[in-house]
Amino acid sequence: MNILSLFVRHGTEKYPHAHEELLGYYAERLSSARIDCVIIDNALPEGTRDRQADGTWLLSGSNACWEFSAWERALETFRPDLTRYDFVHFVTSAYRQLYTAYIERIDMTLLANLLGRDVMLGHIDSYGDPVDFLGCKSQAWLRSCFLFGSPATLRRLGSIVSLRDPGVWFSGNAAAPFRDDAPLSREMQAHIVGWLTGRETTWHSRFDLTPQTLPFFEAKAFAILNEHALTQRLIGQGTSVVDATWLSALLGGASGAQASSLIDWRSQLRERAPYL
């Protein structure tokens, strides 16, 4: 099995050992795969492209849409070679933050069951109720910090960046940060504000929303919107979004079980609940 690993960071100050830990995961869980590693660093000078002694590529990324535009830069660079790979692994330096048990469940068995299929594998998060987003009802998304996708899926998808213009979304006012005409419901706005400021949960980098922190809020919120929109586009094109915890339980629950039929995300979440 051949895997292209696209690891995004913004310098090494915040998560200095993240890539080293990722290599440890590969050695333990994906030991029989051939993995070509690319580090995309959004803090590097524009135009950086260097191959390290161990074969790892080091590229400068575009930070316009955080990890999504960085991945887009790498995919543009390596697109002619994608046919050589069975999976592309999308990873960010923060992949070990918050809930991470699903990561250890992704191994050669899970990936082998998804070979050649139109899939994106990771951890599915969801709101308790649907929200309005981009003119549709939407509720679930794949966490973007640790995803495996097939090259065929990526070819169908086109750009991994879904949203490019922050001006469509944000008002410039910390007291009411989203535009009145932004294409997302008040409920989704409240979820995003609550997540980032810690009112809904304890995010690993929570902060108070003030005029001083508004630029960071907008950048992070825009990444959240791109994350949600990516899953919406995948589902819209018929790609199976696969929850690693559900698939691991399926394959481990019966002798010789195979993921012959990939059920919808709602059924996956209902069936995975006892395993979280």
Amino acid at 168: V
Q: Taking residues 16-27, what's their average pLDDT?
A: 97
Q: How much is the pLDDT for 259?
A: 66
Q: How much is the pLDDT for 258?
A: 62
In a domain, 174, yes or no: no
The CATH number assigned to the domain holding 263 equals: 3.90.550
**For 71-80, what is each residue's pLDDT tens digit?**
999 999 998 9
Domain count for the chain: 1
Q: Domain range for residue 252?
A: 2-125+140-158+238-275
- Going through the chain in order, the beta strands assigned E by DSSP cover 2-9, 34-41, 49-51, 57-60, 87-92, 119-122, 124-133, 136-142, 146-149, 240-243
In a domain, 150, yes or no: yes
